[in-house]
Amino acid sequence: MSRMPQTPRAKTPTPAPLKARAGASPMPVRARTKSATGRPTPSRHAVKDDPALPVPTLSIKEAIALKRAEAKKAQGQAQNASLDDFSSLEDAVPSVSGISPEGEDALGRWSVRETIDRGRSSGVVNLSARSLPCIPSALFEIHLGITPDPLKSVPNEPKLPPSDAVPARRGVKRDNPAWFEAQDLTTLKAWSNDIVEIQHEISLFGSLKVFDLHNNQITSLPQTFADLTNLTTLDLSHNSLTSLPSNIFSFPELLVLNISHNQITSLRFNAPFASSSNKKQNYPSGNFFGPVMARSSVPLPKLINLDASHNRIPAEGIDLEIPTALFKFNLSSNPLGNSGALLKRLSCLSNLKELRMEQTDIGDESFPEELSSSFKSSFPRLRILDLGETRVTLDHIKAALQDAQPQREISFDSATEDPPEGILRVLVGKKVVREAWEIEAERRARARAAKFVQEEGITWGESPRRPTNKPSSSSLGVVEKEAWEIEAELTEGAKRRARAQAAAAAPKFSSASTSKKLALKKTEVVKEAWEIEAEQGLLTEGGRRRARAAALAAEEREKEKKTTLSTSSSIPSLENSQYYTRATNTLALPASAPPSKAISHGRAFSFSPSSSAFSGTPSPNDLAVPLPSAPLAEIASQPFALTLRVLTLNNRRADRSFTLPASYGSALLPNLEELDLEGCNFSDKVPVARIHSFSEGSNPNRSTESLLPLLASLFPNLRVLNLSYNVLTSACLTTEVLSALILEAPHRKGLKQLSLRGNKLTELEGFQGLAEMFKGNRDVVGWKLDELDLRDNDIGRLPAELGMLPLDVFLVDGNA
């Protein structure tokens, strides 16, 4: 029996995690950094490829420590294997203990006993990367007061020393929780160990929500595992599982399920509901006096992310009763085969945004011609369809999708960023892996092209294009050229033609020989076919698509002018270049009142008339701008409403109200990404006028509505919101309102920047409620916010829970 670990000596707090160098060896992906008290805290450097499954990196110090521990373990195993003679029979028996001696821990963590003890007061136990042969029995004894049955894979489990036998750290006071401080276990992490088998008593942890067992050697799960019905996140990846307990698919609260890199052969979603006796929602636990297990009546009703990649699952092994709330579904590296029926069922999922079937044995037979009719109005929100390294050909999938949905724009490029809203990106063929410098070069080229377009005021969609009958989602937007297309126009031929045109425009000389030479040079410049197409941007499929979109947009604008001729005199024209910038899709209305000079935040109310840049000289165009602070009804009637991305309404306080159409849908400006309402003197509730028509004699219906819920419903694509220097109070910032405004949802993108500077906030209970969501979690599904500005308010105290918010910028100066 090996000695048990000693309590590690006191160490300095581990610094913030650093990014590993390019040559560093790969380390376990679910590691956490540690605070000064030894408690694990979530890593801030997470890979952004998958928001539901963050993969934090290790700091350099932790990586070196783990490598040393692995090398020391390998050296000890080699010494035991090289012994030729044994002094006794006991020496010949190898040790089954996987727990390191109770000495100095390589990462400076608490011992296993202390970690389990402290989990009684926090509800979180992290036993990751400790070479454990099984989940320690001490966990059941301390938290439940029971001793689990011995496991076949670990007949002689090493005993942990009692709490009193483990000395406290030097300079650290032992503060084990008392009995009245005990909490139910909600988070258990035991990844990167040597666990082969799980005790069936694990089902008694009924409050468990997060269970992370990835990177172990688990071959099967006990049937009682399905009694953990409160689980929201379950990670069983990188194990040796061949099947799952059937009742797992009846978990009512499960959001994220990762079963990748196993040997699973089927996904029987409908197995718990196959027989009529299992169609009840509540199931007894097996004991007459035991708790009742609340299970769902449909397969995994709340599951949004399912990763089943790198398994052995054929298409016929997947039940077609697929969870309806799926947001991401990964079936890569599976021998799927003919998947026509599976794809037909997946096309009916209304929330599915990402479907990955890379390196699966599927071909064109999975997309037959008769299946195209079923694809119509299907995959309503799908944005990424990954069919890379399969037998599916580009021409076949293009015909199957474009013929089925001619009104939808489909892209076949392999860009790194997510596609825009409304565009389906299909990846076919071999995956192109680009290095970091190539991605950075492409980003800089695009930035230079966008800057050039903005500075020159060029609109690339005005040149004549070939018309087409196929509409496009960008038909109402600005047709912009990519960086390589702009560079294609600046070829040597283009420079030669420019020189010829300059020579032709020079003054005529009297000399006949000179005129003949100029005429000869002029006739020598003959454009080739590819040069003409390069000038018009028709070399690629993308350029031709944009040309068709520009021509269609011109036709639709002519139709709109004819149909709206009768009402054009009463609707204000906001498409003036003084307000609307077509290159950036930005609308900035003039301020209705200048900010107060005495008060920098401009909370004062003013009835001063409209003026141009507060110069005192009214502009004739300002007379057409409505007086309400947010004339959304007038803005929504403009031709650019569907493509508007930035709306600036600063210091508009002449009429502090919103105007909305009497009948509008769920989203008024569907593509608006940035809204600036600084200095509008808005309070928690705002007057709203609903306009039936733009005639002068119409009387709008006025009501009062809450500001923040109204903004969340009107602008679903909003990423940046500026409400600085208004009169908002803490009463409107409840946890429910902030969640609906900030978090990403099936119909919302989620905020990235929120500015509440210069308001009347006194407390932050709403943000404190949001921070509670991160307690025990590395990430919260739908959280995108990285910048929060609370300067110049009346906040007297910052709750400590706000430190859990994963913000890059948090500004609070100027408060009490």
Maximum distance among all Cα pairs of the chain, rounded to whole angstroms: 118
Mean per-residue pLDDT, 649-657: 86
Which structure tokens are listed for 289? 């006096």
**Cα-Cα-Cα-Cα dihedral sign, residues 142, 147, 151, 155:** positive
d(CA 67, CA 55): 19
Q: Which pLDDT band holds residue 97 (cuts at 50, 70, 90)?
A: very low
Residue 484 sits at the vertex; the CA angle it makes with 479 and 488, to the nearest 5 degrees, is: 100
Query: At residue 755, what are phi and psi to the nearest 5 degrees?
Result: -120, 120
Q: What is the pLDDT of residues 783-814, one digit of tens each?
A: 889 899 999 999 988 888 888 888 999 999 98
- Quick one: DSSP state of residue 732? G
Q: How far apart are CA 248 and CA 293, in angstroms?
A: 12
Mean pLDDT for the chain overall: 74
Closest to 336 (Cα-Cα) out of 355, 314, 368: 314
Compute the average pLDDT of residues 170-197: 77
pLDDT for 303-343, tens place per residue?
A: 999 999 999 999 999 999 999 999 999 999 999 999 988 98
Residue 369 makes CB contacts below 8 A (sequence gap 6+) with: 400
List for the chain the helix, strand, coil content (%; round to 5): 30, 15, 60
Average pLDDT (358-381) is: 77
Go through the domains of the chain in sequence order and give each one's CATH number: 1-166 (no CATH), 184-273+280-429 (3.80.10.10), 436-563 (no CATH), 580-811 (3.80.10.10)
CA distance 313 to 322: 15
670/46: higher pLDDT: 670
- C-beta separation of 280 from 250 below 8 A: no
Give the H or E element holding residue 553.
helix 541-563
> How confident is the model at residue 88, as a pLDDT?
39
Which residues make Cβ contacts (< 8 Å) with residue 35, sequence separation at least 6?
Answer: 13, 14, 41
Residue entry with tokens 């009948």: 663
Query: Coil, strand, or helix at residue 721?
Result: strand
Say whether pLDDT at 497 is over 70. no
Cβ contacts of residue 444 below 8 Å, gap of 6+? none
The per-residue pLDDT for range 760-772, each reduced to its tens digit, is: 999 998 898 888 8
Question: Residue 588: helix, strand or coil by DSSP?
Answer: strand
18-47 pLDDT per residue, tens: 333 333 434 443 434 344 334 444 443 333
Asked whether 236 and 285 are in contact (CB, 8 A), the reply is no
Angle at alpha carbon of residue 234, lines to 179 and 291, rounded to 5°: 50
Least confident range from 74-83, 110-119, 536-545: namely: 74-83
pLDDT for res 127? 92
pLDDT top residue among 740 and 776: 740
Nearest to 245 by CA among 263, 266, 222: 222
How remote is the C-alpha of 44 from its chain's centroid? 15
What is the arithmetic mean of pLDDT over 345-360? Answer: 91
* Side chain identity at residue 654, one-letter code: A
Q: Is it the case that residue 491 has pLDDT exceeding 90? A: no
Pick the most confident of 207-216, 599-608, 728-737.
Answer: 207-216
- pLDDT for position 597: 47
Average pLDDT, integer, range 373-377: 59
For tokens 């401009």, name the residue: 602
Q: By percentage, how much of the chain surpasses pLDDT 90?
A: 24
For residues 401 and 385, what is the distance between their CA atoms, to the nearest angstrom?
11
Q: How far apart are CA 451 and CA 469, in angstroms?
A: 33
Q: How confident is the model at residue 220 (pLDDT cuts 50, 70, 90)?
A: very high
Structure tokens at 197: 């088998």
430 by Cβ neighbours in 10 Å (0-12 / 13-18 / 19+) ranks as: exposed
Q: By the 8 A CB rule, do 498 and 459 touch?
A: no
If one compares 724 and 405, the residue with the highest pLDDT of the two is 724
d(CA 638, CA 635): 6
From CA 787, how far away is CA 662, in angstroms rounded? 35
> What is the number of alpha carbons within 13 Å of residue 154 lying toward its C-beta?
25
Ranges 546-550, 640-644, 660-664, 678-682: which has the least confidence: 660-664
Distance CA 379, CA 15 (A): 46
Q: Has residue 584 got a pLDDT over 90?
A: no
Reference 539, options 488, 471, 474; nearest CA is 488
Yes or no: say if 453 and 703 are a contact pair by the CB < 8 Å rule: no
Check whether 622 has a pLDDT greater than 50.
yes
Q: State the pLDDT at residue 183.
A: 87
Lowest mean pLDDT among 363-377, 717-731, 763-777: 363-377
- Residue 768's pLDDT is 87
Which residues are CB-neighbours of 495 under 8 A, at least 6 positions away? none
Give CA–CA dist 351/444, Å, rounded.
34
Maximum mean pLDDT: which of 257-261, 466-470, 677-681, 687-691 = 257-261
Amino acid at 332: S
Q: How many residues can be counted in the chain?
A: 816
Q: What is the pLDDT of residue 595?
A: 52
Q: 404-422, pLDDT tens digit by residue?
A: 666 778 888 777 677 877 7
Q: Count Cα neighbours of 775 within 13 Å in the Cβ-side half-sphere.
A: 13
Is 160's pLDDT higher than 70? Answer: yes
pLDDT at 21: 37
CA distances from 503 to 40, 113, 332, 562 (A): 73, 88, 61, 44
Q: In 623-696, where do the E strands start and end?
A: 628-630, 646-648, 655-661, 674-676, 685-691
Nearest to 347 by CA among 382, 298, 299, 297: 382
Query: What is the per-residue pLDDT for 661?
Result: 83
Q: For residue 52, is pLDDT > 50?
A: no
Would you say the C-alpha torsion 554, 559, 565, 568 has a positive or negative sign? Answer: negative
